[in-house]
Amino acid sequence: MVLGMHANFSNTTLRTCGSREIYEKICEAFRPVVKEHIAVYGEFNDQRLTGEHETASIDDFSYGISDRGASIRIPIITVEKGWKGWLEDRRPASNGDPYKIAGRIVKTVKSAKID
């Protein structure tokens, strides 16, 4: 059995922007690169990410506020603090290389080109 390892991440923009639109733009940057993320998110995710049991499907991408079944969860505390906080990618497996996972997340967040 492979367990999940959630990747919480933030940067200056996420901690200070105060904008739902910017959060959504960053989340949407993940949509076109789902396969690239899954490729570094550990082995056997095809067995774990079924869309059941509070997991997103490996073939889909979603995000939502306090949504434990989404690919990326926006913590409720982030919203309550005026859209200032972090995001949680719920797809990485516990056997994933955290450096590869972090590197892929950073690349995707940078691609969102937030002004």
**72 located within any domain:** yes
**1 located within any domain:** no
Question: How many structural domains is the chain composed of?
Answer: 1
> What rounded mean pLDDT belongs to the chain?
87
CB atoms under 10 Å from CB of 99, counted, come to 9
Tell me the CATH number at 24. Answer: 3.30.590.10
The phi and psi torsions of 32 (rounded to 5 degrees) equal -75, -5
Average pLDDT estimate for 5-21: 93
Question: What is the domain extent for residue 74?
Answer: 7-111
**94 located within any domain:** yes
- Model's pTM, two decimal places? 0.87
Q: Which two tokens stand for residue 97?
A: 């290389």
pLDDT 10s digits, 70-115: 889 999 999 999 999 999 998 888 888 999 999 999 999 999 987 6
Question: pLDDT over 70 for what percent of the chain?
Answer: 88
Residue 73: in which H helix or E strand, if any?
A: strand 72-74
* Nearest alpha-carbon partner for 113 in 18, 28, 16: 28
**2 located within any domain:** no
pLDDT at residue 12 is higher than 90:
yes
